[in-house]
Each structure stands twice: as structure tokens, then as C-alpha cells.
């Protein structure tokens, strides 16, 4: 039964749905653009546009070069826009070669929902938190309205109200504090994170957004990096090699988010406010990778280490460092298509493809949000 429900959902989303053509704007899709807000899980190059430094082997699978994504290839947001027949999203912070006529990506690696109280150069937290990203969207909208369709790089005014707005953020608000605080202490801040996200949803509505999808948080207790770095006992491990305490905190957050979005939905009844449950799909992949064509769940493809997780916090994917008098390098595996985790923290293109396909089916969202009924979906290659 487990294989059936996930595989069936993915298969349904991977196919072109001819019957949906009439529902799609301009004969293809109801949504003429996508505007995304988030962190490294959906950053298509914003962080590295601001701080150029990304190196191989990132991007090795699809782009054949570093492409600003924390993966070997495409992210969930990439698969979504490609299936919708839209171009890959240009990062808002990328000044060269960007085209925002069909959307923009405000996400940056290491971003938080809440305003950080520290510097990027101290703790690695991005200065482009959700509030900044929202202001960037407002500025883009203002310029688009002023140009009235006469700017070759900006969306036409009617595109703005016929777009899908996606939010995938919050994970760093949880994980960035776990090094200095207990999980119980960190949990106390999660209602504020949810409040910031729901406030952003309402702000987007106030500037014309009517279709907003909010992703919940993935099970951090299953990722190789956190399994390596976070304190835990053997009693805290579940039967699938994941940490129960940390995953419980994620479940608590996701329940808060779902409940809060339901309240917002009551206020904004002419809008579609969708809760996207990527957590369920990701957890299934970590627990049963082989059932979905993968081989390794809680082991990173790109990393360094002799342990089961192939992750060393001192030698991150693509970097080298002298350890015990010897130069060591964190290199990529030869078969990332067999892994759930790319670098210990983020998903591989293979995992992202499965997650995106499942989300597009509508089976992992509330209310059900079947993209095939809103767009003539393109096959995902």
C-alpha cells in the first residue's frame, strides 16, 4: 500500500493532462507566473548572486555546473515551474541575465522567517529574511505596475494577480538555534515563526495575491547533518534511523502552521491558501528509499566521513580541509540518483523530483490542490 499511494500520486502529476487545457490560462496554465519566498530549499541562485562562491560538485546532475542551488540538480520549485510550462525562476538578487516576466525567486540560502539578531559573517544566517523578501516583492510589483507591461524584464500588471505565490521557509529558524539551545527552548519560538509566515500570507493577499502555497517543514531528524551534529541518545532513534525528539518538534511546528493557515483561510475566503505537506513525502523517502527507486536514506551523497552518514561538519560538500595533518576533501558520490540527501542537509534532484511530483498531484495539500486541473502539465524529464 505504501508504494502505491506515493507512486500513484507521482505518476498522476508526471503526465500531461490534456483535459485540463481549458482550465489553463492561455490554453496552458491558470498561473502565468510563480513568485517564490524561502531558504536554501528553494533558492535558485539568490544567495550566490549576493555572495559569489559556490563550487563544484553542486549542480553536477542537471546543470553540469554550480547553478546556485543547494543540490546536484533541480529543486522542488524548479520541477514545479517546469511542469507548469514556465521558465526556471530568476533570483531577484541576480542582476545579470534575469527575466521576471514569468516570476521571480526571492529565496536565499540560510534565510529565516524571523528577523535574525546576528550577522551572516558570525553565524551564517542570511540577511534576506522573509520580511526583506516580502519588501522585495512589493518593490518588484510597484515597478511592474509603473511600467504597465512596457518593460521587457518585468511582469505585466495582469500577470501579478494570475500567479502562484509559494513560501518555503522556517527550517533555519529551528535548526540555527539548536547548537546553543535545547530543543524544548527552541520549540517556544516556533509559534512566532508561524505567525510571521501567516502574516506574510496576508500581506501578499493585500497586494493582490490570490493563490498562495505554503510548504511545511521536512523531518530534520532524518538528515545526515543533523544526525551527526545534534545531541541525541540511542533511545531517541526510531526504527528508521531518525531522531524522534527533533522530528516531534517538526510535527509540532507543522500542526501549528496548518491550524494557523486554516484561520487565515477563513478571513480570506476569495483566496486559495494551500498547506503543502512536503514533510509526509520526504519522511516516506527517508524511511523507505528503496520502495521509490532510491538506495540510501540517511546517508549523504556528497560528504566526507567513514560513518553511516558520510557527513563531517568540518569538511562540507565541495570543500577541502587539513585534518590530522592530511588534506581531506568532501566529494560527491558517482550515483546521486540513488540518494535522498545530497549534502547532508538538502535533497538530491532525484528526491526533489519525487517530492514535486507528489505535491502536484494534490494528494499532499490541504485543501487539495491538484495542479493538473489548473494547468496542462508538461512531462518532467
Angle made by CA atoms 320, 323, 327, in degrees to the nearest 5: 45
β-pairing, 103-105 vs 326-329, is unpaired
* Identified catalytic residue from 39, 40, 42, 173: 40
Q: Which of 78, 173, 346, 372 is catalytic?
A: 346
Separation of alpha carbons 379 and 168, rounded Å = 24
232 catalytically annotated: no
**Which grid cell sits at 264?**
487565515
Known active-site residue 292: no
Task: List residues bridging with 36 in a β-sheet.
Answer: 105, 166
Considering the candidates 173, 343, 357, 372, report the single residue annotated as catalytic: 343
Q: If you write DSSP's letter for every residue of 193-262 in order, what string do you get? A: HHHHHHHHHHHHHHTT--EEEEE----GGGSHHHHHHS---GGGB-TTS-BHHHHHHHHHHHHHHHHHHH
Helices (H), the chain: 2-14, 46-50, 76-83, 120-123, 130-147, 157-160, 171-175, 183-187, 190-206, 224-229, 244-267, 278-287, 349-360
Active site residue 346: yes
How far is Cα 85 from Cα 45, in angstroms, rounded to an integer?
20
Active site residues: 40, 343, 346
Amino acid at each position: 500500500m505504501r508504494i502505491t499511494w506515493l507512486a500513484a500520486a507521482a505518476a498522476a502529476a508526471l503526465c500531461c493532462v490534456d483535459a485540463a487545457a481549458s482550465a489553463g490560462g492561455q490554453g496552458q496554465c491558470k498561473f502565468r507566473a510563480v513568485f517564490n519566498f524561502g531558504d536554501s530549499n528553494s533558492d535558485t541562485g539568490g544567495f550566490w548572486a549576493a555572495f559569489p562562491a559556490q563550487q563544484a560538485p553542486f549542480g553536477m546532475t542537471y546543470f553540469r555546473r554550480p547553478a546556485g542551488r543547494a543540490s546536484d540538480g533541480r529543486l522542488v520549485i524548479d520541477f514545479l515551474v517546469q511542469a507548469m510550462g514556465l521558465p526556471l525562476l530568476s533570483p531577484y538578487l541576480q542582476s545579470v541575465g534575469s527575466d521576471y516576466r514569468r516570476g521571480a525567486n526571492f529565496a536565499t540560502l540560510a534565510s529565516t522567517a524571523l528577523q535574525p539578531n546576528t550577522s551572516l559573517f558570525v553565524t551564517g544566517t542570511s540577511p534576506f529574511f522573509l520580511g526583506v523578501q516580502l519588501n522585495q516583492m512589493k518593490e518588484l510589483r510597484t515597478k511592474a505596475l509603473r511600467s504597465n507591461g512596457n518593460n521587457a524584464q518585468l511582469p505585466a500588471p495582469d500577470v501579478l494577480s494570475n500567479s502562484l505565490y509559494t513560501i518555503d521557509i522556517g527550517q533555519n529558524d529551528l535548526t540555527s538555534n539548536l547548537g546553543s539551545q535545547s530543543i524544548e527552548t527552541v520549540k517556544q519560538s516556533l509559534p512566532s515563526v508561524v505567525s510571521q509566515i501567516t502574516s506574510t500570507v496576508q500581506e501578499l493577499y493585500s497586494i493582490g495575491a490570490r493563490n498562495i502555497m505554503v510548504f511545511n517543514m521536512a523531518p530534520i531528524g532524518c538528515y545526515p547533518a543533523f544526525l551527526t551534529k545534534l545531541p541525541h541518545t540511542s533511545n531517541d532513534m526510531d526504527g528508521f534511523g531518525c531522531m524522534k525528539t527533533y522530528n516531534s518538534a517538526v510535527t509540532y511546528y507543522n500542526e501549528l502552521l496548518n491550524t494557523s493557515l486554516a484561520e487565515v483561510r477563513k478571513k480570506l475566503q476569495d483566496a486559495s491558501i494551500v498547506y503543502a505537506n512536503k514533510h509526509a513525502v520526504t519522511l516516506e523517502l527517508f524511511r523507505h528509499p528503496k520502495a521509490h527507486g532510491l538506495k540510501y536514506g540517511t546517508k549523504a551523497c556528497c560528504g566526507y566521513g567513514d560513518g553511516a552518514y558520510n557527513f563531517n561538519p568540518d569538511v562540507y560538500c565541495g570543500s577541502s580541509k587539513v585534518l590530522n595533518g592530511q588534506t581531506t576533501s568532501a566529494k560527491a558520490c558517482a550515483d546521486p540518483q540513488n540518494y535522498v540527501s545530497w549534502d547532508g542537509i538538502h535533497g538530491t534532484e532525484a528526491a526533489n523530483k519525487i517530492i514535486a511530483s507528489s505535491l502536484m498531484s494534490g494528494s499532499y495539500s490541504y485543501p487539495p490542490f491538484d495542479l493538473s486541473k489548473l494547468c496542462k502539465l508538461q512531462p518532467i524529464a
